[in-house]
């Protein structure tokens, strides 16, 4: 049985436009379950232990950048090293991703945001229908962090495909879900570079002695993500 896993994460909320939350981002990470990524996962776990964290630690990129929660005692070099662990996983694993950015000020209220997200996700499935139909089963993983997105994912995927199962995931249990979190973060950061600019914490985190944050992101992160974008990367290839 050919099984496709889709891990979904989001960045933002359905509330009114705020200075700290002008966008809503959705990222999907795709993985062919017949492809064994155990060795890649082992490398992540080993790398976390070397960096003083539990092997089962779930990397959360937002707090990592902002030096919050588990990362508040770590300096920028240590936090950047943990971030690279997840970037390297995305780079070498046979996975692909797709993301959307919605500008809340242009969309309107929460109902309008849900509507346009539903249309975009539905169009994406229809545009790639042959791909999705080629799988015997599609399992979607989401942490049910936001009720609106949970309902949207269930309704849109099941309206278009008959082989879909949606499961609740614990972020710390799946590195592929953490990869979706990384995709959300880098998609949001790229959008901010194009529009409102990076925050102080983002600029401090990504800049190096040699490069500005924008250049470091372009050379060290965006290129990796672009190479693994859905449509440019063939699962199983």
Tell whether 63 is covered by a domain.
Answer: yes
List Cα–Cα distances, 28 to 52, 85, 148, 177, 180, in angstroms: 29, 19, 16, 9, 6
Mean of pLDDT over the chain: 92
Q: Is residue 56 predicted with pLDDT exceeding 70?
A: yes
Q: Is residue 232 predicted with pLDDT exceeding 60?
A: no
Q: Are strands 3-11 and 23-32 parallel, antiparallel or unpaired?
A: antiparallel
Tell whether 235 is covered by a domain.
Answer: no
Tell whether 236 is covered by a domain.
Answer: no
Q: What secondary structure does DSSP assign to 169-193, as a single string?
A: --GGG-HHHHHHHHHHHHHHHHHHH
Give me the CATH number covering residue 50. 3.30.420
Domain range enclosing 89? 3-227
Give me the pLDDT at residue 213, please.
Answer: 97
Tell whether 223 is covered by a domain.
Answer: yes
> What is the count of structural domains for the chain?
1
> With bands split at pLDDT 50, 70 and 90, how would you rate the model's confidence at 173?
confident
pLDDT digits (tens, 9 = 90+) for 26-42: 999 999 999 999 999 99
Tell whether 232 is covered by a domain.
Answer: no
Q: Is residue 144 predicted with pLDDT exceeding 90?
A: no
pLDDT digits (tens, 9 = 90+) for 67-121: 998 899 999 999 999 999 999 999 999 999 999 999 999 988 889 999 999 999 9
Tell whether 187 is covered by a domain.
Answer: yes
List Cα–Cα distances, 29 to 10, 175, 231, in angstroms: 12, 11, 12
Q: Which ranges of the chain does DSSP label H, i.e. alpha helix? A: 38-50, 61-66, 76-92, 104-107, 110-127, 129-133, 147-160, 175-194, 200-206, 213-217, 223-227
- Whole-structure pTM value: 0.93
CB of 9 within 8 A of CB of 90? no
């Amino acid at each position: 049985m050919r099984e496709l896993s889709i891990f979904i994460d989001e960045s933002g909320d359905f509330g009114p436009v705020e200075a700290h939350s002008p966008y809503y981002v959705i990222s999907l990470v795709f993985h062919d379950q017949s492809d064994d990524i155990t060795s890649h996962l082992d490398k992540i776990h080993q790398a976390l232990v070397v960096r003083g964290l539990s092997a089962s630690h779930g990397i959360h990129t937002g707090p990592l950048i902002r030096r919050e929660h588990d990362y508040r005692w770590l300096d920028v070099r240590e936090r950047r090293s943990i971030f690279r662990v997840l970037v390297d996983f995305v780079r070498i694993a046979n996975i692909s991703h797709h993301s959307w950015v919605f500008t809340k000020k242009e969309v309107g209220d929460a109902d309008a945001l849900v509507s346009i997200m539903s249309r975009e996700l539905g169009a994406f499935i229809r545009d790639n229908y042959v791909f999705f139909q080629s799988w015997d089963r599609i399992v979607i993983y989401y942490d049910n962090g936001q009720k609106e997105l949970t309902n949207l994912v269930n309704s849109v995927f099941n309206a278009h495909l008959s082989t879909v199962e949606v499961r609740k995931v614990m972020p710390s249990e799946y590195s592929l879900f953490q990869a979706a979190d990384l995709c959300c973060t880098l998609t949001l950061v790229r959008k901010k570079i194009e529009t409102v600019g990076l925050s102080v914490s983002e600029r401090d985190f990504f800049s190096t002695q040699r490069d500005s944050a924008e250049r470091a992101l372009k050379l060290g992160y965006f290129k990796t993500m672009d190479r693994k974008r859905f449509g440019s990367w063939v699962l199983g290839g």
